Structures are given as C-alpha cells and as structure tokens.
Amino acid sequence: MDARDLRVSDAEREHVGQLLQRAVGQGMLSLGEFTERMDTALAAKTRGELNAVLYDLPGMRVVTDEAPRQAVPAPGPTYAAPSPVPTPTNAVRATMTSVTRKGPWQVPPTLHVNNKFSSVTLDFSEAVMQTQVVELIVDDVCGTTTLIVPPEATVDLNGVDTVGGSTTNRVRTGPAAGPLHLVVRGKVRFGSITAKHPFGTSWKRMLG
C-alpha cells in the first residue's frame, strides 16, 4: 500500500494543526487560509490528504513515487508522522475545582484546557499573546469554561462539538481585526463554553 494512502490519527491531525498555527505566526498564511486548511486537516483521512495542506510551506515537500514516500524534513515547518503526542505542557487542567488565569499571563499559540466538573476562567484582557491567532483545544466534561477577551478580539467557537452541552459567543466571530483571534476546538460533554467581553464593555462603548 502506498504510504500516502495510510490512515491518519488524531495526533497527526493535531500535529499538522500546530504547524499551520506556526505558519500563521510567521506570516506565511492568512487567517482565511489557516481556517480553510485547518478544516481540511481535521477532515483528512489519509496522509496524502493531510500532506496537501502543507505542500507550499517552506521546508516541506511531498516526495514522488521514485523516492521514499514520506515527508522530507528541512529547516522551517515540517511534517512527518509523529509518535504519540505527550501530554502538552501548555495546558490548563481542572478536576472538581476552580481555575482562573488573568492579568499579564503568557498565552502560547496552542493552549489545551482539560475541564472535568470544574469552573475554568481564562481572562485574555491583559494577557501577553505570542501570536495573533490562538488555538484553544477544549476537553470539557460537566464543566464551565469562560473566555473573557478584549473588545477588539474575535472568537470562533464553530469547531466545538457539544453533547448535552452549550456554547455561547457574545463577541464577534471574525475576521480578525485586533490583537487576538481565538479559535476554539474540541468537545464539551454536559458542560458549557462562554466567550464574552469584560464586564462593562458595552456601557463604555455607549458612553463613547
């Protein structure tokens, strides 16, 4: 069987998503291109389909049948089938507790939130972002996740799958116009995710 016809795992899709995120941060992809390619990567079933979203990025090429059928690494963004992904260090984990991040905390390009029977609040109002587009990967079970973003920020909750849960977006979805565009993906089971502005933002706008 051709290596490009092999089935891909969720870990490989997530790995490619991180490469696309890095490409956005380096200015190689626009927000629209990132969203389109990310959707393609999430729907990919084979390595050939997954490699297709990286074909024109520097440091990445898909070799032909005359050469070994795998991605050839080079300086810059690369893709190869990764080994099982370890638990990410850039993660917020909460089990039957309450977790809040606020003030000038450092926000990585990709942040994982594992929320089980807990309340998690991420306040991006004064946070320090490394990239304009931040990917938030949520695994929520009977929890409450609240995202507080600056007035100029945009939030995309379309990538969240809910089972007996809810998503509420009280801010603009895009296009990105300010310092932060939050792309939320993952699963919510009998929990909720809410994106909103800081308290009093609407009143401040009305008062000019």
Please give the distance of CA 177 from its chain centroid, rounded to a whole number.
Answer: 18
Q: What does the pLDDT read at residue 181?
A: 93
Burial level of 7, CB count in 10 A (0-12/13-18/19+)?
A: exposed
Determine which of 8-17, 161-170, 181-190 has the lowest per-residue pLDDT on average: 8-17
Computed over its alpha carbons, how large is the radius of gyration of the chain? Answer: 18
User: What is the domain partition of the chain in residue ranges?
Assistant: 1-80, 91-199
Taking only the tens place, the pLDDT of each residue in 101-140 is: 999 999 999 999 999 999 999 999 999 988 999 999 999 9
Determine which of 24-28, 127-131, 139-143 has the lowest per-residue pLDDT on average: 24-28
Residue 23 has pLDDT above 50, yes or no: yes
CB half-sphere exposure, 92, CA atoms < 13 A = 29
Helix 10-25 × helix 31-43 angle, to 10° = 170
Q: Is the peptide bond before 175 cis (omega within 30 degrees of 0)?
A: yes
Residue 185 has pLDDT above 50, yes or no: yes
- How far is 11 from 85, CA to CA, in rounded Å? 6
pTM of the model: 0.57
> Do the beta carbons of residue 147 and residue 125 sit within 8 Å?
no
Tell which wins on pLDDT, 42 or 21: 42
98: left (phi over 0), alpha (psi -120 to 50) or beta: beta
- How large a percentage of the chain has pLDDT more than 70? 80
- How far is 125 from 142, CA to CA, in rounded Å? 26
Taking only the tens place, the pLDDT of each residue in 71-92 is: 434 444 444 444 444 344 589 9
